[in-house]
Amino acid sequence: MITDAGIALAGAGLVALAAWDQAGPAGVAIAGPPWLRALLPVLIGAALALRRREPLLMWLGIWAAIALQNLVTGHPTQSLAFIFVLFAGSYALGAHTSLRRGAACLAITAPVVALISRLGGGLGLGLSAIPLLAFWLAGVLVRVRRQAASLAARNAALQRQAEQATAAERTRIARELHDIVAHHLSVVVLQAAGARASGKAPGAALEKIEHSGRQALAETRRLLDVLHEPAEETGLAPQPGVGELEVLADSVRGAGLPVNLVISGEPAALPAAVDVSVYRIVQEALTNVLKHAGPARADVTIGCTDEAVTIEITDNGAGDPRDGNQASGHGLAGMRERVAIFGGELRAGPRPGGGFAVRARLPLADGLPLAEGLP
C-alpha cells in the first residue's frame, strides 16, 4: 500500500542520511565500512515495507539490521534514524498482529534493548522498553477500534440481509395466501352464480353473496397483486402441498441426495395455508442439505393430527457450517417467518452426532391461517 511504501522510504532515507551525511540532522552518523552503510538502508526499507503483511518478519528485520551494525562496528549506533524506525516498527507490531504475538516479540526484545542501553547509552537517546511499549499499545488500540468498526459493519450487513430475507419470505407467503384466497373466493362466486341461475334458491340472497364475493375478490387482488414479482404470473391454482412432497423428494434424489419420506395422519384435511407452508419448509430444508451438508442422506417425517402438524428434517452430513442466520441465504429465517404466522415453533441446529436437524410444529387453530396470514 502507499502508506507502507511511504514509511519504508522514510525509514530507509533517514538511515541513509545518517550513514552518508555526516553533518545531517539525523543524529550521530552511523559508523562502519561503506558496504555496511549501503546495506543498512536497504534492510530497513525492506523490513518496513512488510509492516502490514508480515509484521513479525518486519520486527525481526529491524533488529537484524541493528545487530549487524553492532557486530561490525563493535558499538551501538547513536543515530536518531533508528529511533524512528523502532517506534514505527513497534506501532506496526501492535496494529497489524495479534496481541499475543506482539507481546511475545516485545518480551523477547526487551532484554536486547536493556543491553544496548547499558552498553551504548540506548542508541544515544536513553531508549528503553517504555517508549516502544507505548507505541505498541497505540497500535493495539488502533487495531481494536478497527476490528470493532469492521464487526459492527458486518453485523449491520447481516441484519440488513436478514430483514431483506424476512421481507422476501413475507412477500412469498402473501402471494401464496393470495392465490389460496382468490381460488376459494372464485369458487364461492361461481357456485352462487350457478345457484341463482338455476332458480333453486332466493335470487336476492344469492345475488348478494355473489356481489360480496366478487367485491372481496377484486379488493384482494387490488391490494395484494403489488406483491407479485414483475415476471411472475398470477394464477388461481392452489400452491403445492403435502401431496406433492413425494415429487419433491424424487427431484432431490435425482440431484444426488437420498431422501426417506414418511407421512402419517390425514394430510388431505389440512387447511390450504398450512398445507403449502409444510411443503415450503421441507423444500427449503432439503435445499439447505443439498447446498451445505456434503455427502449425506436426509430423513423427512411429517405427522398430521387434529391439533397440529409436526415436521422434522434431519441429515447426517459431516462438518455442516450452517447456523440460524447464514443457511441458504437466510432460509431458516424464512422458515421461522412461516411458522410464526401460525403461532408455531421452530428449532434448527447441528445434531450431537453430526449433521443438521430442523423441527417445526404448526398448530391447527380454527381460522388462524387466514385470519393472521394476510398482511
Among 169-178, 211-220, 332-341, which is the least confidently predicted range?
211-220
353-to-291, 318, 357 alpha-carbon distances in Å: 20, 9, 11
Residue 22's pLDDT is what?
56
CA atoms within 13 A on the CB side of 373: 27
Mean pLDDT, rounded, for 83-107: 83
Whether the pLDDT of residue 328 is over 50: the answer is no
The closest of 301, 214, 205 to 261, measured between CA atoms, is 301
Q: Per residue in 305-327, pLDDT tens?
A: 889 999 999 998 875 544 444 44
> Topology of 242-373 in CATH?
Heat Shock Protein 90 (3.30.565)
Question: What's the pLDDT band for 17 if we cut at 50, 70, 90?
Answer: confident
Mean pLDDT, rounded, for 26-47: 77
Q: Is 97 exposed, middle or buried (0-12, 13-18, 19+ CB in 10 A)?
A: buried
DSSP annotation of 225 reads G
Instruction: Tell whether the torsion through CA atoms of 62, 64, 66 and 68 is positive or negative.
Output: negative
Q: What is the mean pLDDT of the chain?
A: 75
Residue 28's pLDDT is what?
56
Residues above pLDDT 70, as percent of the chain: 66
Highest mean pLDDT out of 73-82, 160-169, 289-298, 345-354: 345-354
Question: What's the pLDDT band for 357 if we cut at 50, 70, 90?
Answer: very high
Question: What's the pLDDT band for 345 if we cut at 50, 70, 90?
Answer: very high
Q: Is 335 exposed, middle or buried (0-12, 13-18, 19+ CB in 10 A)?
A: buried
Q: Per residue in 106-160, pLDDT tens?
A: 777 767 666 665 655 445 444 556 787 888 888 889 888 988 888 888 888 888 8
Question: What's the pLDDT band for 361 if we cut at 50, 70, 90?
Answer: very high
Which distant-in-sequence residues (6+ apart) come within 8 Å of 196 by Cβ?
203, 206, 207, 210
179 touches 240 (CB < 8 A): no
- For residues 124 and 75, give the distance between their C-alpha atoms in angstroms, rounded to a whole number: 11
- For residues 186 and 316, give the distance between their C-alpha atoms in angstroms, rounded to a whole number: 45
Mean pLDDT, rounded, for 19-46: 73
Q: Per residue in 231-265, pLDDT tens?
A: 544 444 456 888 899 998 988 888 888 999 999 98
Residue 375's pLDDT is what?
32
Highest mean pLDDT out of 40-54, 75-89, 114-128: 40-54
Q: Per residue in 165-215, pLDDT tens?
A: 777 777 776 766 666 666 666 666 666 766 667 766 566 666 666 666 666
Mean pLDDT, rounded, for 61-74: 80
Longest Cα–Cα distance in the chain: 120
Residue 221's pLDDT is what?
61
| DSSP conformation letters of 270-294 | S-HHHHHHHHHHHHHHHHHHHHHS-
- For residues 303 and 253, give the distance between their C-alpha atoms in angstroms, rounded to a whole number: 22
Mean pLDDT, rounded, for 31-49: 83
pTM: 0.46
298 phi-psi bin (left φ>0, alpha ψ -120 to 50, beta other): beta
Three cell numbers written together for 192: 352462487
